[in-house]
């Protein structure tokens, strides 16, 4: 049984932020995974010392599809790329035919 399919998406996207625009490719592959991801695991988030709290942010654990199965990726702290940057956690979006993995990213 096949657990994923690739679907090409057509369409350009420009995101205007501040003074500039970021252009996304006109074509992108998305992998449709037909097997529902497992529930998220409970993680104990370590407390950071005060001097590191503004410099680092917790990236929660998530399930990543390895082509055959969902594999757990542990959460961890990472340095913020800039002051005030917010982490959008990795997640799955429900789509027709299955789920699409959306990787975590900064905004």
- Percent of the chain at pLDDT > 70 equals 74
SS3 content of the chain, % helix, strand, coil (to 5): 5, 50, 45
**Residue 95 is encoded by which pair of tokens?**
């789509």
CB 98 within 8 A of CB 33: yes
Burial of 63 (0-12, 13-18, 19+ CB in 10 A): buried
Q: Which residues pair with 70 in a beta bridge?
A: 65
CB 46 within 8 A of CB 60: no
Q: 27-37 pLDDT, tens per residue?
A: 357 889 999 99
- Rounded to two decimals, the pTM is 0.70
d(CA 73, CA 99): 18
d(CA 87, CA 25): 22
Q: Which residues pair with 83 in a beta bridge?
A: none
Q: 51-92 pLDDT, tens per residue?
A: 998 899 999 999 999 999 999 999 999 999 998 899 999 999
């Amino acid at each position: 049984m096949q657990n994923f399919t690739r679907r090409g998406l057509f369409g350009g996207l420009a995101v205007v932020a501040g003074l500039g625009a970021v252009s996304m490719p006109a074509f992108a592959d998305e992998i449709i995974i037909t097997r529902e991801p497992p529930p998220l695991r409970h993680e104990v988030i370590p407390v950071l010392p005060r001097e590191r709290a503004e410099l680092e942010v917790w990236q929660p654990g998530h399930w990543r599809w390895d082509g055959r199965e969902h594999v757990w990726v542990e959460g961890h702290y990472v340095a913020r790329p800039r002051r005030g940057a917010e982490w959008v956690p990795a997640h799955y979006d429900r789509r027709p035919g299955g789920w699409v993995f959306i990787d975590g990213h900064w905004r």
